[in-house]
A = this chain, B = another copy of it.
Amino acid sequence: MKVSIVGATGYTGAELVRILSNHPQAELAYLTSESSAGEKLSRLYPHLAGHCDITLSTMAEIDKIARESDVIFVALPHGHAMKLGKQIAGASAKLIDLGADYRFKSPQVYEKWYKLPHVHPDSGAVYGLPELYRADVKNAKIVANPGCYTTASIMALYPLVKARLIDNASIIIDAKSGITGAGRALKLDSHFCEAGENFHAYSAVGHRHVPEIEQALCGCAGEEFTISFTPHLLPVSRGILATCYAKLNDGATPGKIAEAFGIYKGEFFVRLLGEGACPAIKNVRGSNFIDIGWHIDKRTGRVTVMSAIDNLVKGASGQAVQNMNILFGLDEKTGLTTLPSYP
């Protein structure tokens, strides 16, 4: 299977290379970078030296890349993938977009939150959160890989929304992400001396992952509601922890709550730690696992669900490979069974 990556020099691109190097069916074909075309990827990422010395191409060659690839991962800022997707719509290559372009059923929602007209609204893209929408992914041509915060948030809350155990209007998600979430681009907020020994929120109102979470949860509930979502920047490289609060509905017993999470039974990548457990980001580091625990507070009548993922793996590149495996009828965990790296 020939695999290409458009935008290979960001952290999600490098993580794709790492994961795919361990995948028995995948062979890297083209890697592109607009800023570093002509260089070897291993010059930008010396940890790959001797093991991924492919020379970087550019997006200008996308038609050729599409002809010679079975699947293309797009790891670019939003706005680019929809143009590429439209351009290569006639090619047989599947496209897995790690950005936001194909995540919304409604182009209007995309346009409202991303301030860009959608150029490929009839793409037929599906939302690639495999544990919830696996059937859709199987036959897709274009897969929208979910956002990192959204993967953690939706998977934590979906079971309770589906089982109608919580007051949806009461949902509050307090989320914390490692600094790879901000990418490899140089920003003061990512400077070691600014981010280290620091912690703060950002985009406290109106973060772009909000409509994505609402789309999934409202879709599940069959009703419209809004959620509160606050992202924070953690002084770690990798990892997201989502602490999700909701008011319990009458009759939401501990047993029914545990039962609701049973929808993940048999899911290799979901580890249900159960009631009373606090998942930790270090326990999933480097792996495609999502660890989920929950807490019921009788005094307040609230449930707190916590989920932990590695934002670069289950929150991006690992989930993308999981989607690729589904698209091509492979065992879903192929290339993704390495245990977390601890400590």
Contacts and interface: CB of A to CB of B under 8 A. Distances in A.
Interface of A: 11, 14, 17-18, 21-22, 45-52, 170, 172, 174, 176, 178-180, 184, 186-188, 190-202, 204-206, 226-228, 230, 232, 234-239, 241, 243, 245, 271, 273, 276, 278-287, 291, 295-297, 299-300, 302, 304, 306, 308, 337-343
B48 A304 contact: no
Nearest to A270: B50
Contact of A237 (B176, B187, B343): B343
Contact of A199 (B22, B176, B187, B205): B176
Given A232-B241, A271-B49, A343-B180, A197 B199 contact: no
8 nearest A-B pairs in the assembled complex, by CB-CB distance: A200-B280, A186-B186, A198-B282, A174-B174, A193-B343, A47-B283, A204-B295, A47-B340
A283 B172 CA distance: 27
Contact of A18 (B184, B192, B197, B339): B339
A191 B191 contact: yes
A254 to B, nearest CB: 12
Given A184-B191, A235-B234, A282-B194, A227 B300 contact: yes
A337 B282 CA distance: 22
Q: Give the residue among A172, A284, A304 with the most B Cβ atoms within 10 A.
A: A172
A200 B241 contact: yes
A304 B192 contact: no
Given A172-B172, A197-B282, A205-B295, 6 more contacts: A46-B273, A47-B285, A179-B193, A186-B187, A199-B280, A201-B241
B198 A11 contact: no
27 contacts: A14-B342, A21-B339, A22-B337, A22-B338, A46-B291, A48-B340, A49-B283, A50-B271, A172-B172, A176-B199, A179-B192, A186-B187, A186-B191, A190-B192, A196-B197, A197-B197, A197-B282, A197-B285, A199-B282, A200-B281, A200-B306, A200-B308, A201-B243, A202-B278, A204-B278, A230-B243, A238-B343
A206 B296 CA distance: 11
A236 B191 contact: no
A179 B196 CA distance: 11
B243 A232 contact: yes
B278 A342 contact: no
